[in-house]
Structure 1
Amino acid sequence: MLYWFYQHYGVNIFSYITFRAGVAFFVAFGLNVFFMPYFIKWAKAKKANQPISTYVAAHEGKKNTPTMGGIVFISSMIFASLLCGNLLNPYVLLGLFCILCFALIGARDDYMKISAKNNAGMSAKMKFFLLFVISVIITYALIYIGHDTQFYIPFMKYPLFDMSFFKIMNVPVLALGFWVLVFLATSNAVNITDGLDGLATMPSICALFSLSAFVYVAGHAGFASYLLYPKVADSGELVILSVALIGALFGFLWYNCHPAQVFMGDSGSLALGAFIAFMAIVSNNEILLLLIGIIFVIEALSVILQVGSYKYRKKRIFAMAPIHHHFEVKGWAENKIIVRFWIIAILANIIALLSLKIR
């Protein structure tokens, strides 16, 4: 809407992405802070509580904590984006489609967990199938609008190769498969990380902040040329969506910090992971995402190693997986685990941002 005022009435300040992103931040933050108490009250009345796994006895006291808080911060982000973004921009439309679809899948999973009063939720096969289908649709749409299929690695000026060299029916199969993998891996990694109060929230804010910087540079011809960064036309508008989500997450963290009054649930974690993946793909940072989202990588890797080790060696590597539970078993206080993981996320993202200049 603000961009519409610029187009039709020449209100020049609304032409600036940075200004509209700032407005989107505070709108999303304000909406989340205002509506979350009402959601918490409603969720408690409906007994929409987080089912606690029987394997995590230390969290028994959290069984009455409402879940599905992701619905509120995702809704706040979408409203702020509709208010401040250019809705004719294909990247904006795809970004909104991405976060909405993954949030709906997550909400369905949350609802099934709450209804059944256990931590199982949707069947793994059905959940994977839905995530896969949406990932393919978004990826194909990116290819259709002509998004760059070059493969970049951090701290290098030039791409290693073009992922469109192998095509089937004019579809670059390698690019499609790789990007779908990024969507699935990142959304599930964030979902795995969301096991302690605020643990997934702050690393997501850090990742979104870094990716906002990369997307802004990619969408700005002058900055991209000066920093030798691959230019992605029209991608700069995505900064508004990303900053709106950061604002919504800060509002959510107000209630999600230890001891949490509400959990984000799969409706929040899957949507967060998918949007982080989308931003990484658009900014050609799929590989750098390993550093940007290092906490998510560590958490997911701990589960993979634990399952693999037990399956083939009948031995556990960690006392419990994901790794945050390992530290709980070792006697670390929950707050200590959370803050130390936050510190790692902040340091990793500072290093990632250095790649803007060191190329």
Structure 2
Amino acid sequence: MLFHLLNIFREQLESLGFYAYQEVTFRGLLAMITSFLVTFIFGKRIIKWLLSMKIKDVPDFNTKALNECMKNKRNTPTMGGIIILLSIFAGTLLWARLDNPFIRKAMFIMIWFGLLGGVDDWLKLKQKGKTRDGLLTHEKAIFQIAGALLVSLFVYFDLENIPDAPMLWLPFYKQGIYLPVWLFVILAFCYITATSNAVNLTDGMDGLAAGCTAVVAASLAFLCFVASEKMGRGSDMYWAKYLLLPHIPQAGELSVFFASMFGAILGFLWYNCSPAMVFMGDTGSLPLGAAIGYGALVTRNEVLLLIIGGVFMMELFSVMLQVGYFKYTKHKFGKGRRIFECAPLHHHFNLKGWKEEQVVVRFWLIGIICAAIAMLTLKIR
């Protein structure tokens, strides 16, 4: 909104030599600061409201030892994703170009998956007889599948007329791999479903999912900038062409969105760090996961995001391996066996003797290293 307001006085501002508001880097930084301040200022009030509504977490796991580890989290308010979503909307609406198609679709994704997560959280905590269950598996799957399919179609129709865009791009490889329409949509659909669930699975310790998502959001803000922006004012060279990536016009505006996400998460960590005053719940984890998947799809960095979000991939695959191995051994030997003490992976290390704070900080460090490796591959390409 403020961008469009300033644009009304464009000629007057340019006559004064003020061009900065047109740059996505400048507006991205303002969006980050705005979303951080909104979270910091209104976070405590929203937490008090959640407490008044008795929206409190009730840890109930299949592992007795894990329930013992998590007993101190009982009655901590959840659905804190509301704080993150409001802050992202505030930063984005104020500083992004609202006529940008990528911005509009990013906001749609946050609303769709935020509502899905919110309903799931609400049913877990408020509906009698459904504690820890929330939406039934097929109910949740239907809305996740529908949302993922919409996102996949969004991305394809936005990119179909851009040269080299509807292709699969790999780290270290200088050319894209052709994908037919049906395969592009299927891969994108599976991808969004996986990223939304991966962040959701990681949200199990104070600050863990938030800190790892902040690293990914900062990386995607950079990748969106690289996808569409020139190397400098007056330059004819685009960063994407320099780094042998597809040039995606207008994708740079998503830098403002992801910068706003980064600021909102930093503000949320103020209340979510150990001991947490609030949890994000599915209300925050599902839309955040879907949004980072969308950013990677738009910039054609799906495979690179698997490296950047290495922690999320570890968590997701630990659950898949644990469930698959348990079912296989139960079928073959009559009794299910486990690879890990507990899945997702962060609970395994917790039960192995790591303190919660150690798990969280060490996973953050892994996430930062993964992001650094991913950025390094851009230059190596």
TM-score (norm 1): 0.95
1:82-93 equivalence runs, <5 A: 82-93=93-104
Match of 1:2 in 2: 2
Any idea what the Cα deviations from partners look like across 1:311-332, whole Å, max 9, x if unmatched? 1112111111111111111111
Aligned position for 1:237: 253
Q: Answer whether contact 2:308 2:367 (CA < 8 A) is retained.
A: yes
Structure 2: distance between partners of 1:16 and 1:101: 29
Given the alignment of the two structures, is residue 305 of structure 1 paired with residue 316 of structure 2, yes or no? Answer: no
Preserved contact between residue 210 and residue 352 of structure 1 (Cα < 8 Å): no
Deviation at 1:218, TM superposition (A): 0.6
Contact between 1:52 and 1:118, CA under 8 Å: does it hold in 2?
Answer: no
In the other structure, the counterpart of 1:189 is: 198
Return structure 1 stretches of 4+ with deviation > 6 angstroms: none
SS of alignment partner, residue 200 of structure 1: helix
Distance 2:284 2:61 in 1: 23
1:322 and 2:339 aligned: no
Unpaired segments of 5 or more residues in structure 1? 165-171
CA distance in 1, matches of 2:61, 2:366: 29
Residue 152 of structure 1 is matched in structure 2 by: 169
Partner in structure 2 of residue 267 of structure 1: 283
User: Does the CA-based 8 Å contact 1:6-1:15 persist in structure 2?
Assistant: no
Q: Does 1:67 align with 2:72?
A: no
**1:321-356 CA-partner distances (Å, limit 9, x unpaired):** 111111111111110111111110000100001122
1:128-277 correspondence to structure 2 within 5 Å: 128-147=141-160, 148-161=165-178, 163-164=179-180, 172-221=181-230, 222-277=238-293
Question: Where do 1:274-285 residues align within 5 Å?
Answer: 274-285=290-301
Q: CA deviation at 1:6?
A: 4.0
Give the secondary-structure state (helix, strand or coil) at the position aligned to 1:332. coil
Contact 1:69 1:265 in 2 (8 A): yes
Structure with the greater alpha carbon radius of gyration:
2
Report the CA distance between 1:146 and its aligned residue. Answer: 3.0
Q: What CA distance in whole angstroms lies between the structure 2 residues aligned with 1:255 and 1:233?
A: 37
Once the two structures are superposed, residues 104-145 of structure 1 have per-residue CA deviations (whole angstroms, 9 ceiling, x without a partner) of 100010100111362111111111110111111122122222
Task: Tell me, in whole angstroms, the C-alpha distance in 2 between the residues paired with 1:146 and 1:332.
Answer: 45
The equivalent residue for 1:21 is 28
The answer for the alignment partner of 1:168 in structure 2 is: none
Residue deviations 1:241-291 (CA, integer Å, cap 9, x gap)? 000000000000000001100000001000110011001101111111211
2:110 to 99, 115, 122: 99
Q: What amino acid is the match of 2:229?
A: H
AA of the residue aligned to 2:208: L
Partners of 1:19 and 1:150 in 2: CA distance = 31
Contact 2:38 2:90 in 1 (8 A): no
**Overall identity of the aligned pairs, in %:** 38
- Which consecutive unaligned segments of at least 5 residues does structure 2 have? 14-18, 231-237, 330-335
Aligned mates of 1:118, 1:69 — CA distance in 2 = 18
Q: Report the equivalent of 2:332.
A: none
CA contact (8 A) 1:203 1:345 kept: yes
Q: CA deviation at 1:160?
A: 2.0
Q: Give the aligned residue type for 1:322.
A: P
Q: Tell me which residue corresponds to 2:16.
A: none
* Paired AA for residue 345 in structure 1: G
Amino acid at match of 1:327: F
> Which of 17, 37, 47 is the equivalent residue of 1:40?
47
Matched letter for residue 50 of structure 2: A
- Return the letter of the residue paired with 1:31: V
Q: For the residues of structure 2 that align with 1:219 and 1:355, how far apart are their CA atoms?
A: 19
How many residues are matched?
351
Q: Is the 8 A contact 2:56 2:125 kept in 1?
A: yes
Deviates more, 1:341-350 or 1:49-58: 49-58
CA distance in 2, matches of 1:301, 1:146: 30
Instruction: Tell me, in whole angstroms, the C-alpha distance in 2 between the residues paired with 1:309 and 1:288.
Output: 28
Q: Report the 3-state secondary structure (helix = DSSP H, G, I; strand = E; otherwise coil) of the residue aligned with 1:288.
A: helix
Aligned pair partner of 2:134 in 114, 121, 138: 121
